[in-house]
Amino acid sequence: MKKTISLTLMAGAAALVAGAALAQSPQPAKADAAMQKVLDAQASLNPKPIETLTPEEARKQPTPADGVKKVLADMKKSTAPEPGVTVKDMTVGSGDASFPVHIYTPEGKGPFPVMVYYHGGGFVIADTEVYDATPRALAKMANAIMVSVDYRRAPEHKFPAAPNDAFAAYQWVLAHAKEINGDPMRVAVGGESAGGNLATVVSMMARDKKVQMPVHQLLVYPVVNDDMNTPSYKTNANAKPLNKPMMAWFFKHYGGDPKNPYALPMKATSLKGLPPATIVAAEIDPLLSEGKAYADKLKKDGVAVSYKEYSGVTHEFFGMGAVVPKAKEAEQFAADELKKAFAAKK
């Protein structure tokens, strides 16, 4: 009996110690009210933890975009795509290396400048449909064509399939811009999270392969390193909708060479010669520290950078302009930087 009581007391003491440690460990900052509504809406759809699933299962989970749609529905607002942009679907490549692209064109005469856009999802989940809101918003706000790329995903197509597809899409746009009412001399690249990685990797590839450089790179909380002990990884280890275990899961399935800068751009010996960059960061995001470090590295290597961090919002906030005011601000910031870059090349 005494032994049982002793073990019970020990277990209780251990739980108290663990609870105290958790309370003392860094915790994510509090999301602002609009952002929290989206997080709550997504949580109400009962998503399972991505890191516990197979890639096939993970791709079926409710996304932050579904959270936005639920918030709009709860507010009795339309969930239909924002009007004023036409979308045309095409295919790039051939055989096993072919993939769809989706061309978002704003109203007006053209020819328009173009941005090749790469969606997020850790190279494993999500697609252009999940990230439809971003190219749609930027097409209108920057008055530019957005070519959104459904690059092949891991683990079915491990590294370097995604960067190879991303670069092929960029080259396709250079060659076919006039056919889509675009200006081949004013082509930028951009993306979110894994897509931000691909955008800057395409810029590196263009430099290294002596191909026409993008006029600008828009990097929204890009994945650029595999150091999971940065300050933001520690503070946001358990953040929503992106946390540390999810990032480990993404890296495992992607299969990128950790020494290859085309997998992890922070590993590059030099970033000299890359196009000017706009970097958007979120406070509640494991990737915050590396995004700032990448901005600093670009600057050190002589690349012009416009960097902006948004407080009270999480990874994936960009593209939520319909319901999150700071997302609308970030979209406008990105669009303004794109317009400046395009105007400089007229």
Rounded CA separation 294/288 (Å): 10
Among 102, 216, 253, 315, the one annotated catalytic: 315
Segment holding 154, helix H or strand E: none
Q: Please list, residue by residue across 270-286, b when 16 or more beta carbons sit within 10 angstroms of its beta carbon and e when fewer do.
A: ebeebbbbbbbbbbbbb
What are the DSSP calls for 175-194, one per residue?
A: HHGGGGTEEEEEEEEEEETH
Q: How far is CA 178 from CA 110, 148, 182, 187, 301, in A?
A: 10, 17, 5, 11, 33
Rounded CA separation 158/320 (Å): 29
Rounded CA separation 94/51 (Å): 33
* Length of the chain in terms of residues written: 346
CB 194 within 8 A of CB 120: yes
Among 193, 203, 232, 289, the one annotated catalytic: 193
Among 183, 285, 289, 306, the one annotated catalytic: 285
Task: Clarify whether 78 is annotated catalytic.
Answer: no
Computed from CA positions of residues 281, 285, 291, 296, in that sequence, does the dihedral angle turn out positive or negative?
positive
Task: Clarify whether 165 is annotated catalytic.
Answer: no
Task: Clarify whether 285 is annotated catalytic.
Answer: yes
Just list the catalytic residues.
193, 285, 315
